[in-house]
Structure 1
Amino acid sequence: MVASLSIKNYALIKDIRVDFNSGLTIVTGETGAGKSILLDALSLVLGKRADIKVVRNPLEKCIVEAEFHIGHYNLKDVFSRLDLDYEDHTFLRREILPSGKSRAFVNDTPASLQQVQTLGEYLIDIHSQFDTQSLFSEKYQLEIIDTLAGNENRLSEYTIALREFYEVAERLDKLIEAKESAAKEWDYNQFLFEELKSVELSKIDQITLEETFEKLNNAEEIQEVLSKASQLIFEENIGSLVTVTEIRLQLSKIKAYSQSYEDLWNRINSLHIELEDLAEELQDSAESLEADPELLEQVNNTLQNLYRLQQKHQVSTIEELLHIEKELALKVSDFETIDDKISEAKQKKKDLEVSLKKFGESIHEERKKVFPKLKEKLEFYLKDLGLPNAQFLFELKPTNQFRKNGTDELALLFSANKGVVPGPIQKIASGGELSRVMLSLKAVTASFKNLPTIIFDEIDTGVSGEIAHKMALILSQMSKKGQLISITHLPQIAAKGDYHKKVFKVVGKESTITQITELTLEERIVEIAQMIGGSSVSESAIAHAKQLLN
């Protein structure tokens, strides 16, 4: 049950806290006093989208917090499923910042709006003034039937299978589309792949190959240069090595006289050794290089083929060609296996269709079982509410369509008068009749759904007199099974409350604020008398109010 509601900086509310009790709580007040603001604030804390326009002072934070006592409602599994921390006294808080951003908290832990909205479905049922129109909705009608039929788990399984069915169907469409597109490109992709594969790119080192080509292509010039260089080092009398040898000999004569001379000798000695090595390497390189026209042609062909492929694919390295080869291999492979994937998706879709039909049939059968008892209870309540000849018919037709809530179509047919053939409720029922039908449905479902709290915002629209009194009795009976809060303009209903709160406006010099107060017995008498006779309270209105309260 809702234990308290704290509202700060919201619409006409500056800062209030309202405490609630179990049983039937009545909320009254003049039109425009702010009764709907309380419901809007509570809806906000239950996950309604935030609007910066509702913030009273845009420079300050808006905070709405509700405390729920839920220790006796077996909701631990719900909290666990939503990954929320459970507390017997659970707090839901919503904050709207001056920037317009909003935050939600469950027991002081940040939560998503989806988490809060789902949790709210297990905590409270708010019936606003316009919700009676939801009776016209097949979705709402089926929700009531499924609540009574205990179809929650079946619908959950159906929804999971339906989601998977749509995913598989979408995947199948994409596979078929991909096959049609790929078929046009497969031959060309296959040719490109085979062309790259035949070159054996992974075995080619382009840099080494280009170096080999340059050597072979310029072998004669290279041999001539290397031989000449070697000769310049070894040549008698004028060769570099001869000169360095003579310098080394001369320095050896004085190296013992000074460390600096010895250092010079060491340097020239190193140069002598390096020249000998260099000369030998030049000679070996010249001798090892031979002109090979056949190898030259082979290397040139390989390089030209490689350059052609790089230009064709607009790349400059072997690594890039290897990446393209890999992509082409995947495309070729995917096309070769796409028929298998299509067959697999078709079979999966067919299997899911079978499962969905079975789920749909099971849900359909459970729905049908509810109708006799529901019809009996609804007509019982409506008879008590002044519609003794009311009739309900439920037309449930299975279809071949996989809809969000099963495979059925439902028509709720209603007649309020004897001799009138039941027809669609939206075409047959008057405003007052709709209010009575809605209350009857709520009374029936409340015992099944076991919600901690139900709130009615003017469920009594279009009724008065004895019917209002009967409606009040039903509300009182419903409140014995859980907390019930009713916003009303009818004295008959106001008088049946265990608690009575009044919403009123306080007009100051520069602002107007909404306040709410708990009425004493004497204050209730006056309030109900004003609801009976207007602002001028007569003795007869007071007497009537006392009679209603008794």
Structure 2
Amino acid sequence: MLKQLYIKNFTLIDTLDMEFRSGFSVITGETGAGKSIILGAIGLLLGQRADSKSVKMGTDKCVIEAHFDLSRYGMERFFDENEIEFDAEDTIIRRELTSAGKSRAFINDTPVALSMLKELGEQLVDVHSQHQNLLLNKQDFQLNVVDIIADDAKELTDYQQTYVRYQELKKEEQRLREDIEQGRQQVDFMQFQYDELTNARLSDGEQEELEQRSETMSHSEDIKTALYEAESALSGDEGGVVSNLKKAVSALQGIEHVYPDVAELAERMNSCYIELKDAAAEVSGKMDDVDFDPAELDMVNTRLDRIYELQKKYKVERVDQLLAIQEELGRKLSNIENSDEALAEIERQVSETLKDAQRKAELLTEKRRVAAGAIEKQMRERLVPLGMPNVRFEIAVEQEPLGRCGQDKVSFLFSANTSTPLQPVSQVASGGEIARVMLSLKAMISGAVKLPTIIFDEIDTGVSGKIAEQMARMMSEMGHCDRQVISITHLPQIAALGSTHYKVYKDETAQGTTTHMLMLNDEERVREIAQMLSGSDVSEAAIQNAKELLKL
């Protein structure tokens, strides 16, 4: 339930801070007073796209904040899943918009993406504006109404998962057929390519190893010369580093007993001697390893030329890419060879999944037909008191090919008179009749869906008098079931039945036009409703009439 709405620097609003109550409330005000501005602010809170022009001229930022009491609606799961702190009695959503066009959204002071704000907003508030009456033209809206009353969310989800699987298998079957057809046309060429790569006996890492061997053998003389010079410098008979270092160590060790200060130095030099002696042995060993074999070099270069040739032919740069091509060719050839079996298997899966989807679609149809009967009965019961004594309302459920929502095409058929045949409601109902149908649908749906707040924006279009009063009573009843109903209206009959009455008005100041909103007391309500009855010149008769409507 919406407890409080705070708006600052939004279009014509400087600051608005308004408390809201449970039950059935009404908002009135002259045309152009700013009721749509307040609805626009609420729309931003519900995740609608923002326009920087909405920021009041001359200010840098607008802020819209709402406090909700969700203690009776079991919404903890949303907050747990999104790791947002949950305060059931005071959930705060806020939207900030700068004049530069930057927008930020918050839930309980946690920054969130606009999509998350919209997801929560859809669970908090339903705003029914006049243009929503056009939804009666939409088949998906009509089907959604039936699904809500049928309470078939589990069955629908189960069906949709199977249907998606069926669609995936159909695509897989089509791809396989295309691969087989294409493969059969190219099988000889593919076999030649596969044999060519297979006979090459490629191995991953081979190219790098061969390139290194070729490089080494091509410079074998340079390598041997460098190794010989290194060995001579280390182990040569005259002036070799190893033998000279050994002499130095022996000299120092010979004086250790008379000059102990050289003991550590001798030890360090001896370690160096051991290390250098070992390195000299390794250098000597490598001289034996390096040997130039023209035949081996030719073999290595021939193998590399073959690898380079294949890489150029198949337009790749590495052996592992050639191996991947070989594997893919092998897979395609195997598919072609086993195509009949593979195709038969995928066809079997498609057939079984289709039967499963059809079975689940039938279950949906059964639940929808039962729900359609219940909706027809409820709608007649709701529409008769709204001035349609001869109303007929039926739901046609026709079969169509399987789709994402099943196999059912739903149409709402309507006739307000016994002499008029049933036709789609959007084609035969007048504006006032459509308003009453939509209100009845909303009242029925609200009984099945626990939505904290419902706002009706001039749903009374095209009705007046006794019918308007009956519509108000219906909205009032909706507000008695742990639900908050707010109606923006121009009709005194509806305004008089609200348990709380708000007025929106404009004020012309030296700084410009500003929109305000206030909660009316009993005396102010009398004058507001009297003005709605008689216009700007409020007569005594209008005041008395207003008191009668308010039962004061």
Under a length normalisation based on structure 1, what TM-score does the superposition of the two structures give?
0.80
Mapped to 2, the partners of 1:285 and 1:384 lie a distance apart of: 107
| CA deviations over 1:480-518 (Å, ceiling 9, x no partner) | 112110000000000001110000111222421111001
State the Cα distance separating 1:355 from its structure 2 match. Answer: 3.0
1:62 maps to 62
Given candidates 327, 343, 355, the residue that maps to 1:330 is 327
Deviation of 1:33 after TM superposition, in Å, equals 0.9
2:305 aligns with 307
Structure 1 equivalent of residue 5 of structure 2? 5
**1:50 alignment partner in structure 2:** 50
Q: Give, in whole Å, the separation in 2 of the partners of 1:167 and 1:511.
A: 61
Does the 8 A contact of 1:79 with 1:119 survive in 2? no
Checking the alignment, whether the CA contact within 8 Å between 1:122 and 1:451 is kept in structure 2 is: yes
1:209·1:303 contact (CA, 8 Å) conserved in 2? no
Give a deviation string over 1:506-540, Cα, whole Å, max 9, x none. Answer: 12224211110011111111110110010110111
Change (3 A) 1:471 1:313: same
**Aligned-partner SS, 2:312:** coil
**Shift of the alpha carbon at 1:457?**
0.6
2:136 counterpart residue number: 135
Matched with 1:516 is 517
Count of matched residue positions in the alignment of Structure 1 and Structure 2: 494
Distance 1:108 1:321, change over 3 A: closer
In structure 2, the residue matched to 1:101 is 102
Shift of 1:308: 4.3
- Counterpart residue identity of residue 95, structure 1: E
Separation (CA, whole Å) in 2 of partners of 1:362 and 1:534 = 57
Q: Is the 8 A contact 1:197 1:325 kept in 2?
A: no
| Most deviating of 16-25 and 104-113 | 104-113
Q: Is the 8 A contact 1:189 1:328 kept in 2?
A: no
Farther off after superposition, 149-158 or 174-183: 174-183
SS in structure 2 of the partner of residue 3 of structure 1? strand
Partner residue in 2 for 1:381: 382
* CA shift for structure 1 position 373: 2.6
| Deviation for aligned residue 1:442 | 1.6
| Superposition pairs of residues 146-225 of structure 1, within 5 angstroms | 146-181=147-182, 187-188=188-189, 190-202=191-203, 205-207=209-211, 210=214
Is the CA contact 1:123–1:452 (under 8 Å) kept in the aligned structure 2? yes
How far 1:434 moved relative to its partner?
A: 0.8
- Residues 379-417 of structure 1, C-alpha deviation per residue, up to 9 Å, x if partnerless? 122111111000011110122221x32220011110001
Query: What does residue 38 of structure 1 align with?
Result: 38
**Match for residue 449 of structure 1?**
449
C-alpha separation in 1, matches of 2:185 and 2:98: 57
The Cα of 1:546 is off from its aligned counterpart by 0.6
Distance 1:337 1:151, change over 3 A: farther
Whole-angstrom distance in 2 between the partners of 1:118 and 1:242: 88
State the shift of 1:313 in Å.
2.2
Q: Quick check: 1:186–1:332 contact (8 Å CA) kept in 2?
A: no
**1:31-87 per-position Cα deviation (integer Å, ceiling 9, x unaligned):** 111111112211211111222222224752222111111101222234445554432
Give distance in 2, aligned partners of 1:215 and 1:548: 110
State the one-letter code of the partner of 1:364.
T
Change over 3 Å in CA distance of 1:179–1:456 after alignment to 2? same
- Shift in CA distance, 186/146, structure 1 to aligned 2, threshold 3 Å: same
Residue of structure 1 equivalent to 2:486: 485
- CA-atom RMSD in angstroms: 3.7
Q: Does 1:541 align with 2:542?
A: yes
SS at match of 2:156: helix
Stretch moving more, 182-191 or 510-519? 182-191
Cross-structure match for 2:463:
463
Residue identity in the other structure for 1:324: Q
> 1-side partners of 2:88 and 2:219: how far apart?
87
Aligned partners of 2:100, 2:164: CA distance in 1, in Å? 37
CA distance in 1, matches of 2:111, 2:187: 53
Q: 1:169 to 1:98 in 2, by over 3 A?
A: farther
The match for 1:499 is: 500
CA drift at 1:366: 0.8
Contact 2:386/2:470 (<8 A) preserved: yes
In 1, the alpha carbon distance for the partners of 2:49 and 2:516 equals 24
State the 1:325 CA deviation.
Answer: 2.6
1:21 to 2:15 alignment: no
The 5 Å alignment of 1:58-457 reads: 60-81=60-81, 84-89=84-89, 90-181=91-182, 187-188=188-189, 190-202=191-203, 205-207=209-211, 210=214, 296=295, 300=298, 303-314=301-312, 320-336=317-333, 338=335, 339=339, 346-402=347-403, 404-457=404-457
CA contact (8 A) 1:310 1:321 kept: no
Instruction: Report the AA paired with residue 88 of structure 2.
Output: D
Distance 1:391 1:500 in 2: 35
One-letter code aligned to 1:407: Q
Q: Report what 1:250 is aligned to.
A: none
Please name the residue that 2:254 is paired with: none
Gaps of 5+ in 2: 240-250, 252-280
8 Å Cα contact 2:194/2:330 also seen in 1: no
Deviates more, 1:86-95 or 1:108-117: 108-117
Matched-pair contact (CA < 8 Å) for 1:500–1:519: yes
Task: Confirm or deny: 8 A CA contact 2:50 2:103 kept in the other structure.
Answer: yes
On the 8 A contact 2:67/2:93 being kept in 1, the answer is yes
Q: Does the Cα contact within 8 Å between 1:183 and 1:335 map onto a contact in 2?
A: no
Structure 1 range deviating more: 183-192 or 377-386: 183-192
Instruction: State whether residues 412 and 424 of structure 2, in contact with CA within 8 Å, keep that contact through their aligned partners in structure 1.
Output: yes
The one-letter amino acid paired with 1:69 is: D
Asked if the contact 2:127/2:455 (under 8 Å) is kept, the reply is: yes
Distance 1:364 1:529, change over 3 A: same
Larger Rg: 1
Check conservation: 2:393, 2:412, Cα contact below 8 A. yes
Q: Which amino acid aligns with 2:45?
A: V
The question of whether the paired residues in 2 share the 8 Å contact of 1:394 and 1:411 is answered with yes
When structure 1 is superposed on structure 2, of 102-111 and 18-27 the one drifting more is 102-111
Looking at structure 1, the residues matched to 342 and 3 of structure 2 have their Cα atoms a distance apart, in angstroms, of 57
Stretch moving more, 163-172 or 116-125: 163-172
Q: 2: CA distance between counterparts of 1:144 and 1:518? A: 35
Distance 2:529 2:513 in 1: 25
Q: Does the 8 Å contact 1:533/1:541 carry over to 2?
A: yes
Structure 1 unaligned blocks of 5 or more: 234-240, 245-255, 257-276
CA contact (8 A) 2:191 2:333 kept: no
Q: TM-score, normalised by structure 2?
A: 0.79
